[in-house]
Structure 1
Amino acid sequence: MTKRIVILGGGTGGTLSANRLRRDLGDGADITVVDRDDDHVYQPGLLFVPFGLAAPEDLVRSRPRQLHEGIHYRRADVDRIDAESDQVHLQDGTALPYDVLVIATGARLLPEETEGLTGPGWRDTVHTFYDYEGAVALESALAGFTAGRLVVNVVDLPIKCPVAPLEFCFLADWYFTERGVRDQVQLTYATPLDGAFTKPVASRTLAGLLAEKNIELVTEFNTGEVDGAGKRLVSYDDREVPFDLAVVVPLHGGASYVERTPGLGDEFGFVPADPHTLQSKARPNIFVIGDAAALPTSKAGSVTHFEGEVLARNVARYLAGHELDTSFDGHTNCFIESGFHKAMLIDFNYDTEPLTGHYPAAVGLPLLKESRLNHLGKLMFSWLYWHSLLPGRDIPGVSTTMPRAGKHFPAPADH
């Protein structure tokens, strides 16, 4: 009997899951992907738009056209999930029954949750590059900025691609240097973290790079208010960071239908799941992939790619009544653009923080070190995204689990 698989979300996770499942299960599964619009945006490219390094229209393609033949695409908003009767209720009043549900609706921006953020100054002196419209508006704002204080601010975690705000700082340093006005521009990075990044070795390296590029680092800054008229960020402990131009990464939350489905999500609207099988903690026939999941790993495209293989295998195993694969290890792999045609690379998982060395083995790309090779790797990722990652193909030489070869592990402490 044909099994019904409904996938909510036609972004990275939903698309690659649908394509993998279609390939693995063939006509044994009836697969439907649901999304509210038809525009698939290559989100890593948004970082480059404000600096004129990417044309925004080149980042958007049709969602249904990324899906293999035989997969149904439904353009609709989700109202809620009825997990008891295994149905997805859409806002147009129809219901989609399922045998397995895959939640892949990512993270949404919640700028209205921060006092003043969308008030006076929004899209004028206060911007974000985390959505298409914001990145486009920021390009013209940066073009007209020749002197003053530019502050990059992360309101709170978790956010999509946690290194992107740092990359923005490094690219801004390069951008203003190229324009000959870097001496007139003060760059500041304000973060709620107690360092430049969450993991100690990477945090030290990245803080060193900020200092080297004369970018001020303000730590443990928990933004309570954005005063666009007064041009200042105010933290909950009443510290202030003045700005002439603010680039803010807003609060993130899960899809709104999660909040309308009792027991499915956490307080942020993300969906708790087993960190190794990706099976939802709410129901055994619900699986989660990508930014929609509440897992102790980064909300990054690479994570979604590495999750895809395990998720597709586990949906098939669940339908066949077999034990689930527990092999997902939180593998994350991120290029960090550092400007001047260079980039760093970090590779880590649940148990191992980003370390120095090489990836994917002793001969490979340098880890936690600036190089032109890493920059080329970042640029090549766009091609891989559309032609390998979304179609659900494996990338040769890149495994789902984090490779240990090539990494410099610290010596075990003496007892």
Structure 2
Amino acid sequence: MDRKRIVVVGTSFAGYTGALELRELLGDDHDITVVANTHDFVFIPSLIWYPFGLREKKDISFDVRPVYAEHHIRFVEAHVTGFDLQQRLVKTNGADIPYDYLLIATGPKVDFASVPGLGPKQNSWSICNIEHAEETRHAWERFLKDPGPIVIGASQGAACFGAAYEFLFNLRYQLKKHHLLDKVPLTYVTAEPFLGHFGIGGLGNAKSLSETFFGMQGITWRTDATVQEVRPDGVLLGSGEVLPSKFTMIIPRFLGIDAIRNTPGLGNANGFIETDDGYRHKQFPEVFAAGVAVYVPPVGETAVPCGVPKTGYPSEVMAKTAAANIAADIKGGEHKTMPFSMIHAYCIMDTGNMGMLILGDHMLGARHLEFIIPGPQAHWAKLAFEKYFLYTRKHGHV
């Protein structure tokens, strides 16, 4: 059997899982290379706590290089600038990397430019990565010295609604701890047609539970909202309403990374890769994708565009499916399919000292089983899962 070269681009949930799964399936008979612009794995779900000083980088990240070395996986730290799909090359700011099979498992390009004034360099803050969360921490510290109205939300085209909800509720919990609830009007702005839509069309009684919880917490909300502009002192909505704000955090829409968007035929207009249910590219059979890089159509028609979240668990499932199919191509055997819609829906939503356990037998469409269980156990479950996940992944278990 010829020795094959498999290149994985990205080293977050999908990339890290995909690389280790490939080594498990292929043994040492083939070469696996991971190329990424960082050697840190960061547990993104914990960034909801970072701005409040509840986590440091060392608590929620680890260096992937020792794990890759132990598993005989080559790691290249570089910026991917594009792909030559005909010559089968990953183009970087260093040397080009040839491949026989390619798994694209990159994070998103965060599209702050889609809304005037949006983003850390302008008039709002972010928790999309650890650098953004660090800037948000400094902004929060300044805010506590001079509090006022707050706007939290997710703009048109956004998909990461869960992070917006969790940050909102954790921020509210911090306001209570600082005895600021009576001084800080709190508003949630979202592209969702109703609270608890989450970009997946809703789940169980999420709508009624969310509305009840928002009411109990004294949080006002605007659904079906477009963000027209983020200003230094407030947020202009498409309706013409201006919401005053001294601290604004709005999740923007995501795009595929520039390297995908700069490669003709690889991704769609927004830079996401269209695949079959085995996560294989529809025109280039040696190219696979997993995680945020994969195109998943929106769920139904909504007045304001809503994306579909491709969070940690679905990303890992996609990566394992893609890895199984690459291994089947190389070694023979059964190919696998796992439509995104059929991946289980698992989410632990933290609200500071409470939360909700959200479970469904699949992500999208009508479900046979779906549960939302509120209570303090969700908070403790989130903490336990964070520790379990980081321990197992740091030791190379996926």
Q: TM-score, normalised by structure 1?
A: 0.84
Alpha-carbon distance change, 318 to 156 in structure 1, aligned in 2, over 3 angstroms: farther
Which residue among 386, 392, 395 is the counterpart of 2:390? 386
Distance 2:116 2:11 in 1: 31
Which residue among 308, 315, 321 is the counterpart of 2:326? 315
Q: How does 1:292-311 map to 2 (within 5 A)?
A: 292-296=293-297, 297-311=308-322
SS of the aligned residue for 1:246 comes to strand
Which stretch shifts more, 10-19 or 138-147? 138-147
Superposition deviation, residue 7 in structure 1: 0.4
Deviation string 1:353-388 (CA, Å, 9 cap, x unpaired) is 68886xxxxxxxxx4122222222211222232233
State whether structure 2 residue 138 is matched by structure 1 residue 140: yes
1:362 corresponds in structure 2 to: none
Distance 1:14 1:168 in 2: 26
2:271 corresponds in structure 1 to: 269
State whether structure 2 residue 214 is matched by structure 1 residue 210: yes
Deviation string 1:118-156 (CA, Å, 9 cap, x unpaired) is 5xxx46862112222222232233334364211002123
Alpha-carbon distance change, 59 to 82 in structure 1, aligned in 2, over 3 angstroms: same
Alpha-carbon distance change, 354 to 334 in structure 1, aligned in 2, over 3 angstroms: farther
Distance 2:10 2:138 in 1: 31
Superposition deviation, residue 110 in structure 1: 2.2
Distance 1:125 1:282 in 2: 41
Distance 1:57 1:281 in 2: 40
> Quick one: which amino acid aligns to residue 192 of structure 1?
A
Q: How does 1:2-401 map to 2 (within 5 A)?
A: 2-67=3-68, 68-92=70-94, 94-118=95-119, 122=120, 126-143=124-141, 144-145=143-144, 147-160=147-160, 162-198=161-197, 199-200=201-202, 201-228=205-232, 231-274=233-276, 276-296=277-297, 297-328=308-339, 329-339=342-352, 341-348=353-360, 349-352=362-365, 367-389=371-393, 393=397
Distance 1:312 1:331 in 2: 19
Deviation string 1:6-59 (CA, Å, 9 cap, x unpaired) is 001111211111111111111122000001222322211111012222123422
Which stretch shifts more, 235-244 or 80-89? 235-244
SS of the aligned residue for 1:135 comes to helix
RMSD value, Cα: 2.3
Which stretch shifts more, 380-389 or 187-196? 380-389
Distance 1:354 1:147 in 2: 43
SS of the aligned residue for 2:149 comes to strand
SS of the aligned residue for 1:282 comes to coil
| Contact residue 123 and residue 137 of structure 1 kept, 8 A | no
SS of the aligned residue for 2:381 comes to helix
| Contact residue 356 and residue 369 of structure 1 kept, 8 A | no
| Contact residue 346 and residue 354 of structure 1 kept, 8 A | no
Distance 1:87 1:322 in 2: 27
Superposition deviation, residue 391 in structure 1: 5.9
| Contact residue 39 and residue 60 of structure 1 kept, 8 A | yes
> Quick one: which amino acid aligns to residue 169 of structure 2?
F
> Quick one: which amino acid aligns to residue 127 of structure 1?
W
Alpha-carbon distance change, 153 to 327 in structure 1, aligned in 2, over 3 angstroms: closer
Superposition deviation, residue 323 in structure 1: 4.9
1:400 corresponds in structure 2 to: none
Distance 2:215 2:320 in 1: 40
Distance 1:377 1:306 in 2: 21
Superposition deviation, residue 105 in structure 1: 0.7
Distance 1:259 1:14 in 2: 19
> Quick one: which amino acid aligns to residue 238 of structure 2?
Y
> Quick one: which amino acid aligns to residue 343 of structure 2?
G
| Contact residue 15 and residue 390 of structure 1 kept, 8 A | no
Superposition deviation, residue 252 in structure 1: 1.4
Which stretch shifts more, 194-203 or 94-103? 194-203
Superposition deviation, residue 191 in structure 1: 0.5
Q: TM-score, normalised by structure 2?
A: 0.87
> Quick one: which amino acid aligns to residue 154 of structure 1?
A
SS of the aligned residue for 2:337 comes to coil
| Contact residue 117 and residue 124 of structure 2 kept, 8 A | no
| Contact residue 278 and residue 289 of structure 1 kept, 8 A | yes
SS of the aligned residue for 1:272 comes to coil
Alpha-carbon distance change, 36 to 79 in structure 1, aligned in 2, over 3 angstroms: same
Count how many residue pairs are aligned between Structure 1 and Structure 2.
376
Deviation string 1:196-218 (CA, Å, 9 cap, x unpaired) is 23234323322221122111111
Superposition deviation, residue 84 in structure 1: 1.9
| Contact residue 195 and residue 203 of structure 1 kept, 8 A | yes
| Contact residue 19 and residue 390 of structure 1 kept, 8 A | no
- Gapped runs of 5+ residues in structure 1? 358-366, 395-415
| Contact residue 89 and residue 98 of structure 2 kept, 8 A | yes
Distance 1:355 1:322 in 2: 32
- Gapped runs of 5+ residues in structure 2? 298-307
